[in-house]
Structure 1
Amino acid sequence: MLDQLFKKKPVLLLFILFPLLCGSIMMPETDFLEDSQVIPGKLEFIRDSVRFEVTGTIPIESVLSPKNPKVNILFKSSENSLLFEELELTKNVSYYSYSKEFVLAYEPWMEGAFLEVQFFQGKKAQEEPYQKKVLARGVITTPLLAKVGKVNFDEPIPQVGLFISTGVMDTDLSRSKEFLIKFDAGSSSIKMNSANAQVIADLKNFLTENSSVLSFKITGVQSPENAEGSSSKLGMDRAEAVNKLLKESNITIRDSLIEVTSRWNDWFDFRLLLREYEKISTQRKDQFYAVLLDEADYQTQAQGLRKITGFNQVAGDLFPSLRAAKIEVVAKPLPGLNQAQSLVLQKALEQSTASSELDMADWAIAGETTPRLEDKAKIYSKMTELFRSVIPYNNLAVVKMRLAQRTLDQETKDLLWKEANDLLYQAAKIDTNPYVLHNQGQIMVLQGKTWEAYKKLSDASVLTRNEDFLKYNESLRGALDILRGDYKLATLRFDYDYTEPKEFFNKGLAYYLSKDFSNASLSFEESVMAGRNYGYGFYGLALIAAQSGQAEVALLQLDRAIHASELLYQKALVDPIFEELRSSEEFFQIFRPATSEKED
């Protein structure tokens, strides 16, 4: 019956037999790239290059398989690609083998590139590979996270360059003074007699000379006399009356600085007056102090004082001064030149003169205390005409460096760097100065001349033991040590007390790259505490969590990092360190809110 069926429908016979025939005569396709691998398994930036080795074998199944074998390596991204020379194949009994080491000068496009091995066989002119396999995706560029002063568009502009300071901004110029407004016995009404009027005039003069007020306290006090009452209300009323008088006298102090209070049943103010009282002997004063310092209550001390010979005379002289409100001010002058000096300075800036009534210290103080870079430039530029000194050349160069930080136009930036370098060259001709060397090194860093910069910074550190200078110079050296691959050495550079999140981050990065994850974690946490909106500290903590296999923690820290920085957002998407995390839905979930926010 089957014979009849197949005779009538031969196509049906072919349909049934075809799978069986195929199973007996067709071999499964050979995976010629199965053994192909890259060492290390993830490409990594080290000392300005990417180094790796590609190895593998190609099986030989018969004398005809494979025919004209060829292996190529392709390194490709959406922006660029490198196709390397054909790998040399060594023929063995049952396989071909290949192995080659590669050293590539790192370029930014490589961070998101993939490394692919391609196998060709058959016709020699064949263009499309018979098989291909991705060996690695991306390049680990963690050292390039080191903060060296470069500007990123979504981050605060880093401060670069070190001014040579006069020290005026760091000097504690604060001074304190007391002013006493007196009242009649039992009264809280102020009489503007000549004495009180003079107090207000003296207070105005003090605040004119010291216009930066640090604290301002008004304390109402009252004497132990019966006429002064038996409660603290009088003292507070006096304090409030003085506060009102000051406002009526156009003495304006920020409310947040003013403290209004009172003292009652307290011998503190009497003790202060007694210290300057000269109508009794030192021995008699000691008797008073013995009572005032015995820590008894107010009434017990009052009884003890009255028993001392001469108390009535002392009370008669000192108690009237306790019917008062005391104004205690702590203030300092604004840094910089006074009004007369400022007028002379302005005149000198407007004229083409080679001399000045102000000395170099005055000019340096003016430049240091002027907030705007444009004004600093005018002052330091004029100083180069008036004085042969490192200070104006160095400081004008720093102004140029900071102006370069503010422009996005590379041509303008390059021009400002050139002008700054020219000024630093002139400064170096005058004297060998660590600040000049540091600034020359900083410009080289921004220009990508890492190795030349390191030499300048190293020379600068040798010239001074100034702690503040070394703190900044060594931190920049440490960042360069990271870029140069000297991670252990880099950890030694950050042995200073920092406040900036970027310094803590660089310190953590040095520890992380030297495999000291405990200290790295501490430093990254300090970076987070110093600036929660900075983002890089969170990224560092994500790196450590990913390294230790803590996926949930890594995702949590990464979420915080990418929402703080667009650069970190883009980097996390290609960073090979997070390659395993990218296979999870949770990884891409943390990016979705950020995407929707950008679309809004």
Structure 2
Amino acid sequence: MMPETEFLQDAEVTPAKLKFDRDTVSFTVKGTIPIQSALSPKNPRVKLIFKSSEKTLELGELDLTKKVAEYIYDKSFILAYEPWMEGAFLEIHFYMGKKSIDEPNEKKVLARGVITTPLMAKVGKVYPDEPIPQIGLFISTGALDADLTRTREFLVKFAPGSSTVSQNAATKATLDEIKAFLTENSSISSFTITGLQSPESSEGRNSKLGMDRAEAVRHLLEESSISIRDSVLKVTSRWHDWFDFRLLLRSYEKLSTQRKDQYYKVLLNEADYESQAADLKKIPGFNQVARDLFPNLRAVRIEVAAKPQPGLDPVQAGLLQKALDDQSGANSLDLADWLIAGETSPRLEDKEKIYSKMTELFRSVIPYNNLAVVKMRQAQRTLAQQSKDSLWSQANMLLYQASKIDTNPYVMHNQGQILVLQGKSWEAYKKLSDASVLTRDPEFLKYNESLRGALDIMRGDFKLATLRFEYDYAEPKYFFNKGLAYFLAEDYANASLSFEESVMSGRNFGYGFYGLAMIAAESGQKEVALIQLEKAIHLSELLYQKALVDPIFEEIRNSEEFFQIFRSSVAESEK
């Protein structure tokens, strides 16, 4: 008798892995049904089904063309993408005999899931287990511009193997520098004390040495009357980690670019610490590099981000409150004073009161635009879709009023951002494109073009998207989007660099690790892919769920090692 699996043996789908492309999923299914004399199937039928746990989509019967020894089928499909498809199965069913029979004689899974990598682009959407993305652009007076935030690093060095702070001139000079910096920049956004350990044997034996050094420096700062709020203070350490050596290597000028590349090849290969140490020692000239750089790792690194304290003086603050309370419209402050007050108020509720009052007092684009941004950010903080829609509607009305006063790129950007969040990406792209034409301000273009680049990724214009990210970034999401553009354009070298930058700028942002895992999977590096994927899924529940169905990892999904990283992630979350 003919084997059960004979009829669908050569059924196949092209591409072998289904992909999201410009809001659609396109594929072709083809195959043959053999005809063998008396064993020929009677009334053969072939159906296609796309199904998940949530939904089943019947794609209908495929037309069969009878040849001498077989029936042939070949049909192309273009489906509008829906979120449930990401984890769906494309199945082909074979029937023969009576048409009333519901159960197929044979089934075959042609594809599992849909590659939706372009939809990973960060465009401001809120996800439950991730920090709320900052969206919307205020028209600024400059009082709180990003360039006012200054970052400084200070180094307190230690003797080899010691965690006792040396009370010498160098330490005193460092403390004086910290005090001077904080006097000029009293608004501290972050203060990180990181204890380091050199790879030297005298340093590496004690895993507590780095943290002991960090605590010693923390106590030194307290004794020196340098008081830091717990909310911005972070005390940490690193041991058996080449991260800080890699940072020092960047600015080390005694190596050629080619020789540095040898170091980076080792440092980025995801091998264990001891293996990397052995490989580094094999590089010619390593001993000299170690003599020059290792002393800077017998230290504590203090990283501070702070800015001057902006805002109104006490008299102006009193006049502001009087104007806010007065229903008659009395006002003793000018537009610039009000703008500084709105800009320097940390709470959205206070900004809302100030900008709302300003729309009564001044005919200006700025208060309407800035009040709209407040509404947009309030929408980010609510999970109720009805409330979110209402706030977006209010923001759009304010932006419309602003556009009647003047054509402004910030207004257009914010209108585009709302359209993005509403899923109207084509309309959004037009708004953002018009906004870019109106100004050459690099700070504005950085954010506007980055959002356009994210939309380019979602629209399938990957090479164009890579051109949108040629700016200096500080946030990991922008590096991730840049890496995503390069990855989808199959420029894996630049993608790897961008994902690495995403990791370095925010180690708690799992998307950079996910990007590195995708590159490793594409290049057949199973072990590296698993290492990076484990880091990603520990940091994000969304990435955890995505990795389980992402066809990019199909080749490693059936391995015991793949499911082991998920079991360890679950165990960690239950502690």
- CA distance in structure 2 between the aligned counterparts of 1:28 and 1:169, rounded to whole angstroms: 74
Q: Answer whether contact 2:2 2:39 (CA < 8 A) is retained.
A: no
Does the residue aligned with 2:49 lie in a helix, a strand or coil? strand
- Which residue number corresponds to residue 89 of structure 1? 64
The alpha carbon displacement at 1:333 in A equals 7.0
Determine if contact 1:344/1:358 at 8 Å carries over to the other structure: yes
Matched, 1:460 2:435: yes
Does the 8 A contact of 1:120 with 1:129 survive in 2?
A: yes
Q: Secondary structure of 1:456's match?
A: helix
Alignment equivalent of 2:540, drawn from 565, 579, 593: 565
| 1:103 and 2:75 are equivalent in the alignment | no
Q: CA deviation at 1:341?
A: 1.1
The match for 1:372 is 347
Aligned to 2:509, what secondary structure does the other structure show? Answer: coil
Aligned to 1:420: 395
Match of 1:534 in 2: 509
Q: Give the Å deviation of 1:337.
A: 1.2
Looking at structure 1, the residues matched to 493 and 443 of structure 2 have their Cα atoms a distance apart, in angstroms, of 27
CA contact (8 A) 1:433 1:463 kept: yes
Q: Tell me which residue corresponds to 1:160.
A: 135
Residue 255 (structure 1) aligned with residue 261 (structure 2): no
1:404 pairs with 2:379 = yes
Separation in 2, partners of 1:72, 1:140? 23
1:147 aligns with 2:128: no
Q: 1:113 to 1:212 in 2, by over 3 A?
A: closer
3-state SS of the aligned residue for 2:542?
Answer: helix
Unaligned runs of 5+ in 1: 1-25, 175-206, 216-251, 259-330
Give per-residue Cα distances to partners, 1:37-79, cap 9 Å, x unaligned.
Answer: 0000000001111000000111111266211111100000000
Instruction: Report the TM-score, using the length of structure 2 for normalisation.
Output: 0.73
Cα distance in 1, alignment partners of residues 435 and 426 from structure 2: 15
- Shift in Å, 1:256: 2.1
Instruction: State the shift of 1:340 in Å.
Output: 1.1
Identity %: 71
- Which secondary structure state, in structure 1, belongs to the residue aligned with residue 470 of structure 2? coil
Alpha-carbon RMSD: 2.3
Equivalent in the alignment of 2:24 = 49
How far, CA to CA, are the matches of 2:410 and 2:49 in structure 1? 47
1:84 deviation in Å?
Answer: 1.2
Letter of the aligned partner of 1:426 in structure 2? Answer: Q
**What are the residue-to-residue correspondences of 1:31-430 with 2, within 5 Å?**
31-62=6-37, 65-170=40-145, 255-256=225-226, 334-430=309-405
Is the 8 Å Cα contact of residues 187 and 308 (structure 2) preserved in structure 1? Answer: no
Secondary structure at 1:54 match in 2: strand
Cα distance between partner residues in 2 of 1:536 and 1:439: 25
Deviations 1:75-126 (A, max 9, x none): 0000001011211111111111011110111111000000000011011111
How many residues matched? 433
The corresponding residue for 1:517 is 492
For 1:552 and 1:104, locate their aligned partners in 2 and report how far apart those are by CA, in whole Å. 35
SS at match of 2:13: strand
Amino acid corresponding to residue 256 of structure 1 in structure 2: I
Equivalent-residue separation in structure 2 for 1:514 and 1:392 (angstroms): 41
Equivalent-residue separation in structure 1 for 2:489 and 2:543 (angstroms): 22
Cα distance in 2, alignment partners of residues 213 and 29 from structure 1: 77
Q: Decide which of 503, 525, 528 is 2:478's aligned counterpart.
A: 503
Amino acid at match of 1:255: S
| Stretch deviating more after TM superposition (380-389 or 63-72) | 63-72
Alignment partner of 1:67: what SS?
Answer: coil
Alignment pair present for 1:472 and 2:447: yes
Name which of 560, 565, 574 aligns with 1:590: 565
Look up the match of 1:284. none
**Preserved CA contact (<8 Å) 1:214 1:257:** no
Q: Could you say which structure has the larger radius of gyration? A: 1
Shift of 1:488: 0.1
Distance change (3 Å), C-alpha of 1:429 and 1:68: same
DSSP 3-state at the match of 2:539: coil
- In the superposition, relative to structure 1, how do residues 58 and 544 fare at CA in structure 2: closer, same or farther (>3 Å)? same
Preserved contact between residue 74 and residue 84 of structure 1 (Cα < 8 Å)? yes
Q: How high is the TM-score relative to the length of structure 1?
A: 0.70
